[in-house]
Amino acid sequence: MPESHNSSQNHLLAALPPAEFARLEGQLQRVPMPLGQILYRPGEQLHHAFFPTTAIVSLHHVLASGASAESAGVGNEGMVGISLFMGGDTVPSSAVVQSSGHGYRLESSLLKHEFDRGGLLQNLLLRYTQALMTQTAQTAVCNRHHSIEQQLCRWLLLTLDRVGQRELVMTQELVASMLGVRREGITAAAGSLQLAGVISYRRGHISVLHRAGLESRVCECYGVVKKQFARLLCGVRYRQEATVD
């Protein structure tokens, strides 16, 4: 069946009451977000905010040596482009699509104008920013103190939460780049999970066979991030639930 698209698939947009959403609805542009697309580059002026629906975007840092790592991921729970309303129009990192899909984009001037009006959108975006900061900080701690297998479990669980399916299309090279580790480390960690019957891996595809197995092996970082998002964005279903028949 063809993939359906609706702005309410993004939790922040779905949270807006009809009156506030109506001011944005005509300006939101649905866009494809193919794997590897670069939405922002370091130091570039930001012209749009992006609200993913079925895609996942990685906020990615690349060092002069070529080494790289993800600081946070953004899926249907959030938006890409918080610098637009936080007082800066450029970022030191890249925003790269790590899982293909679709999303909605909004011109930066429109987002700033609506944010400056106050109201629920401003409140939601500030709460989301705090949750994103928690994810970024917890990622840094996790990458420093936890095993590659625990990091992989965290990353897989966060990805599952965003895509809502157990079949993930991604290579070990991509995962290694996201976590900032050697590919051999991902190969060993994925092999251990596969041997335990938790995942099935073939080139370019990871199938999660036993989510509970991931949850039993993951470090506390996954739970910390999930609880913070739930606490700060507990009202993100407002308009979506209000329109259900």
How much is the pLDDT for 216?
96
pLDDT at 131: 94
Reported as a pLDDT band with limits 50, 70 and 90, residue 244 is: very low
Residue 245 clears pLDDT 70, i.e. is over it: no
Domain 7-143+234-242 belongs to what architecture?
A: Sandwich (2.60)
- For the stretch 140-165, pLDDT in tens is 999 999 999 999 999 999 999 998 88
Quick one: average pLDDT of 91-115? 93
User: ∠103-105-110 over CA atoms, to 5°?
Assistant: 150
Question: pLDDT of 17-40, one tens digit each?
Answer: 888 899 999 999 999 999 999 999
- Phi, psi for residue 200 in degrees, rounded to 5: -125, 130
Q: Which CATH class is domain 147-218?
A: mainly alpha
Position 55, amino acid: A
CB atoms within 10 A of CB 226: 15
DSSP of 86-114: HT-S--SSEEEEEE-EEEEEEEHHHHHHH
Q: What percent of the chain has pLDDT over 70?
A: 94
pLDDT of residue 4: 65
What does the DSSP 8-state code read for residue 80? B
Checking if the pLDDT of 89 tops 60, the result is yes
Nearest to 80 by CA among 132, 127, 135, 117: 132
The answer to whether residues 15 and 243 touch, using CB atoms and an 8 Å cutoff, is: no
Q: In the chain, pLDDT over 90 holds for what percent of residues?
A: 67
> Average pLDDT in the 57-83 region?
91
CA dihedral 103, 109, 115, 119 (to 10 degrees): -90
> Per the structure block, which two tokens stand in for 175?
């995962």
With beta carbons less than 8 A apart as the criterion, state whether 236 and 51 touch.
no
- Nearest CA to 231 out of 164, 135, 131 is that of 131
Going by pLDDT thresholds of 50, 70 and 90, the confidence category of residue 213 is very high
Q: Which residues contact 133 (CB under 8 A, 6 or more apart)?
A: none
At residue 218, does pLDDT exceed 90?
Answer: yes
Does 237 score more than 80 pLDDT?
A: no
Q: What does the pLDDT average to over 169-192?
A: 89
The whole-number pLDDT of residue 243 equals 46
pLDDT of residue 124: 92
CB-based contacts of 218, cutoff 8 Å, min separation 6: 150, 153, 154, 157
- pLDDT, residue 2, reads 42
What is the pLDDT averaged over residues 82-99? 87
3-state secondary structure of 81: coil
d(C-alpha 64, C-alpha 130), whole Å: 29
Section 191-199 average pLDDT: 95
Domain ranges across the chain = 7-143+234-242, 147-218
Mean pLDDT of the chain: 89
